[in-house]
Amino acid sequence: MNRRLLLVAWAAVTVLGASAGVAAGSLLRDFELPPGFRIERYAADVPGARSLTLGAAGVVYVGSREAGKVYALVPRAGQAPQVRIVAEGLNRPNGVAWHEGALYVAETRRILRYPDLDRHLDAPPAAQIVRDDLPTETWHGLRYIGFGPDGKLYLSIGAPCNVCVPAAFTRGDATLEYGSITRMNPDGSRWEVVARGVRNSVGFDWRPGSGELWFTSNGRDWLGDDAPPDTLNRLRRIGENFGFPYCHAGTIPDPKYGGLHACSEFAPPALALPAHVAALGMRFYTGTMFPPQYRGRIFIAEHGSWNRSTRIGYRVVSVPIDGQGRAGPEEVFASGWLSGETVRGRPVDVLTMPDGALLVSDDLAGCVYRIVYAPGT
């Protein structure tokens, strides 16, 4: 099937899934998790739920894509959280991050800051513009953001293509580049590149203790069903290059650009994931609810394939990390979003809650799930 037909077919599946409203009750019954775990719907009616972040008062903020909204999931004792819209009319506000009492939101072109939002949910404050000069390309233009242990705001800048040599661009006195992860001060100053050769990262986190940045990246398309892998990566030094577009997953030279640079010139991935799973949001598990073997693991939301002859992904996996920082292999943790070739949902991001539960957003079903460990219940 050619690329255009696959895109049309995937669009049809997405529309059908969204219009059918994905019955959350039957979906929960069909989930498979390790013994002792259960999954429940945490919040419904969150259209296009994407990235997750936790505010200081236990409020979970959720970015979206086509909905153009940011939601607040306000906890209520003994009830499902109240879903409030705290921003709307935005341009694909995918990324959300909480820092020193303020919510940061990343659109394709802008980064916005909503000060003291937890205390003003009934009348959200006007957005302050942190930066409004991000690249405007929509291909891999969904921004993922997060604050690192250094207090800086990290931001992904995806390559505006399937595969191409990423161009440099200038903003003020800063030289940036596509296909990178960047960082800046919370006020938008001192913007710089920290990781290069990253085709498209829509998820990153810092390992507790070491403070190292780990991130997922989506492999290029149209090299077949099983190549190249998506990757989980570990940044060991600022400016490290992970190979795009010359080398994929550390070992696969690109058919067009591979002759320009050898794979040995670049940082290898920490772990090769299956091709086309669309590995997006990832978090180190920092809670204590789950059994000891899960503590310190990475949980990854695999959004699911769109250009493979049979679908893959549509699940949450866990990745163990040993004492030397070696990763893998991945283990399927939660599945049920895919039944045969029928797509019932698409996990996007994960978030450890203060009680140790794991939240999972789903932009197709338009909801957020909660996974708990409760043996014997």
Quick: pLDDT tens for 14-67. 333 333 334 455 568 889 999 999 999 999 999 999 999 999 889 999 999 989
Cβ pair 159, 178 in contact under 8 A: yes
* Structure confidence at residue 21 (pLDDT): 38
User: Which residues lie across from 339 on neighbouring strands?
Assistant: 342
DSSP, res 166: P
The domain that holds 349 is classified in CATH as 2.120.10.30
- Predicted confidence (pLDDT) at residue 221 exceeds the cutoff of 60: yes
Interval 192-203: pLDDT, tens: 999 999 999 999
* Structure confidence at residue 376 (pLDDT): 81
Q: What is the DSSP string of 141-164?
A: ----EEE-TTSPEEEEE--SSSS-
Which structural domain, as residue segments, surrounds residue 55? 3-373
User: Strands 367-373, 358-362: parallel, antiparallel or unpaired by DSSP?
Assistant: antiparallel
* Structure confidence at residue 31 (pLDDT): 96
Question: What is the average pLDDT across 231-242?
Answer: 98
* Structure confidence at residue 364 (pLDDT): 97
Interval 60-106: pLDDT, tens: 999 999 899 999 999 999 899 999 999 999 999 999 999 999 999 99
Q: How many domains does the chain divide into? A: 1
DSSP, res 101: T
DSSP, res 356: S
Task: Say what the pTM is.
Answer: 0.93
